[in-house]
Chain A
Amino acid sequence: MFNVRTRVSENAVSMDLEGVLDSKTAPELEEKITEIGDNVTEMHFDFADLEFLTSAGLRTILYARQLMDDKDGRMTLKNVNSDIMDIFKMTGFLDVLEIVD
């Protein structure tokens, strides 16, 4: 089970993720990220309902981050649960992600 709710306001896109981000579901998120407009320079992910992610999910998050970096933009994550936080620590992603309250 996986679901993405997307909201767009001018140059910022917010995506609320729900479920598990794995090799089956990550392509759906990647497609949604690919579809965002060229003018978008801010991406905000809400992980409140995201249970877990695998390396396929990490790859997609890294893709969004690099997309924003290429435009000198910003990417944030919020409401990251402890299981996912453990994965971010384990893989060193914590050092390259902006996690906000």
Chain B
Amino acid sequence: MKLFKSLQVAADDGGLGDVFSLVEEELEKVPGCSRSDALKFHMLVDEIFTNIANYAYEDDTGKVVVSISYDDADNKVRLVFKDEGRQYDPTKEKPPDLSLPVKERRAGGLGIFMVRNTVDEFVYERTDGCNILTLVKTIGEQNV
């Protein structure tokens, strides 16, 4: 069984809502996808989409194409985010310093760190002026 769906939205709050809905609806069709899996994907979308919405485009709101696919051959869900914003490779982001005392903690970098620790694959490509970020996660797996 294979699933594939793609959606182009504006890189803003409304677009995020549409992508949340798309991912939730597709995951409902994936056999063995638990609520816990679905919540992790919700987190992945929130972190990556919010990054693009906040940093990819200068002034005008740009576009983001999000696609979700599933193949029961490997039981993995793939999320691909494509934008035409400035070049940015989140896979190169340094992990946050988790040893700092509360007062000095900064929340920056946490989202990408959470993504990296949740997925099986986290791959960046820059092609034809686009940032293409691919996240792959096995369904029904404990990560921590």
Q: Contact partner of B117 among A53, A83, A90, A95, CB < 8 A?
A: A90
Of all chain A residues, the one with the shortest Cβ separation from B113 is: A91
- Complex formed: what's the CA distance from A12 to B103 in Å? 21
Cβ contact within 8 Å between B144 and A89: yes
Query: Which residues in A have some Cβ–Cβ distance to B below 8 Å?
Result: 20, 22-24, 51-56, 58-59, 62, 65-66, 69, 83, 86-87, 89-92, 95-96
Of A69, A83, A91, chain B has the most CB atoms within 10 Å of the CB of A91
For A55, the chain B residues whose CB sits under 8 A away are: 46-47, 107, 110-111, 114
Cβ contact within 8 Å between A52 and B102: no
For B69, the chain A residues whose CB sits under 8 A away are: none
Q: Contact partner of B107 among A22, A58, A96, CB < 8 A?
A: A58
Main SS class of interface, B: helix
- Complex formed: what's the CA distance from A53 to B35 in Å? 14
Shortest B116–chain A CB gap in Å is 10
9 closest residue pairs by CB, A with B? A92-B98, A55-B111, A59-B107, A52-B39, A86-B144, A55-B110, A54-B46, A54-B43, A22-B46
Cβ contact within 8 Å between B17 and A22: no
Instruction: Tell me whether A54 and B102 are in contact in the complex, defined as CB-CB below 8 angstroms, given that A23-B16, A23-B46, A23-B50 are known contacts.
Output: no
Residue B5, interface by CB 8 Å: no
Interface string of B45-80 (1 = CB under 8 A from A): 011001000000000000000000000000000000
Residue B105, interface by CB 8 Å: yes
For A96, the chain B residues whose CB sits under 8 A away are: 101-102, 105
- Complex formed: what's the CA distance from A56 to B13 in Å? 14
For A56, the chain B residues whose CB sits under 8 A away are: 46, 50, 111
Shortest B41–chain A CB gap in Å is 11
Instruction: Tell me whether A87 and B114 are in contact in the complex, defined as CB-CB below 8 angstroms, given that A24-B17, A65-B102 are known contacts.
Output: yes
Cβ contact within 8 Å between B103 and A54: no
Cβ contact within 8 Å between B43 and A52: yes
Name 26 interchain pairs, CB-CB below 8 A, sorted by A: A22-B43, A23-B46, A23-B50, A24-B17, A51-B39, A54-B42, A54-B46, A55-B47, A55-B107, A55-B111, A56-B46, A56-B50, A62-B102, A62-B105, A65-B102, A66-B103, A69-B103, A83-B36, A87-B114, A90-B113, A90-B144, A91-B96, A91-B98, A91-B113, A91-B114, A96-B102
